[in-house]
Amino acid sequence: MKKFYCLIITILTIASIQNIHAQNLPTIDYKRWHYGAFVGLNVMDFGIKDNPESNLRAEIKNWIPGFSVGLIGEMAFNRFFSLRLAPAFHMGQYNVTFYEGTISSDNQFKSDTIHGYKNTPSNIVRIPIYIRYSAVRLGDYKPYILAGGGMDIEWNIDKDPENPILFKRLDYFTEFGVGCTIYTEYLRFSIEAKYSIGFNNKLVSFDKRVGTPHEPLTSDADNINRALEAQSIQSLRSRIFSLVLNINI
């Protein structure tokens, strides 16, 4: 029995020594203010509501990774909760495929015919604010979750009314994510995954484009097809997944 107790004490002592040596930047979490920056990738998607009166349907089948970059400013309330402001710039693209088909008797859309494609770039200035909850630090690792929301500003809006997809300038969103902070000898960084859901309909509806100086519905067959595609969508609500690397001080 004494040997067993000695073994337990030895294991706990070694674990304590290792834990002490593993504690890089042991006091950094006690600072009230933290600053940093991040870079990463994003994937843009839509929640699409189709027009039931149209024989076209829009769908995003392929996702192309975009680029994200931003700054971080954080105020710690205590060891566990903090308030984060993280303005960002997201560059990405929506690849929309339009299908032509018919509605079956059971209200299902059936089609194997592609009517057209639309690749729409999107450059977003995002101004979010988050509440972040961090778990207890384990050695040089500390997982956390965060949730919040904010405003998106579409930076470069396409104003050509013939395009089937035109974006509004402003959108509002909610976002949540998970991450893990890793402490090194000189700085700390974190790997973070987030998912956001937009509140507003980002699409400028077709009927609001009619009457503009450049009439979208003309005798040109290509323009007519674009107009039909524009009328096939009732609403677009953004969905963005991002995976970023944060560097904090």
**pLDDT score for 150:** 97
| Mean of pLDDT over the chain | 84
Question: What mean pLDDT comes out for the span 46-67?
Answer: 88
Mean pLDDT of all residues in 55-83: 92
Q: What is the pTM (predicted TM-score) of this model?
A: 0.82
Residue 222 domain flag: yes
Question: Among all chains, which residue has been given the structure tokens 């395009």?
Answer: 163
pLDDT digits (tens, 9 = 90+) for 136-189: 999 899 999 999 999 999 988 777 766 788 899 999 999 999 999 999 988 899
Average pLDDT over residues 101-109: 69
CA atoms within 13 A on the CB side of 216: 23
Q: Any idea which of 10-19, 59-68, 74-83, 223-232 has the lowest mean pLDDT?
A: 10-19
Return the higher-pLDDT residue of 220 and 23: 23
The mean per-residue pLDDT over the stretch 213-231 comes to: 64
Is the pLDDT at 205 greater than 60? The verdict is yes
- In-domain check, residue 11: no
Give me the CATH number covering residue 62. Answer: 2.40.160.20
In a domain, 45, yes or no: yes
The tens digit of pLDDT for each residue in 7-45 reads 344 434 444 444 445 578 888 888 999 999 999 999 999
Place of tokens 């960002």: 88
* Containing structural domain, residue 152: 28-248
Write the Ramachandran bin of 55: left for phi over 0, alpha for psi from -120 to 50, otherwise beta: alpha
* Domain annotation covers residue 92: yes
Residue 200 lies in a domain: yes
Q: Is residue 38 a contact partner of residue 70, using CB atoms and an 8 Å limit? A: yes
Q: Are 50 and 235 in contact (CB under 8 A)?
A: no
Determine the Cα–Cα distance for residues 207 and 52; give it in Å rounded to an integer. 16
Residue 14: inside a domain, yes or no?
Answer: no
Residue 23 lies in a domain: no
Query: 77 versus 159: which is more confidently predicted?
Result: 77
Number of domains comprising the chain: 1
Does a structural domain hold residue 22? Answer: no
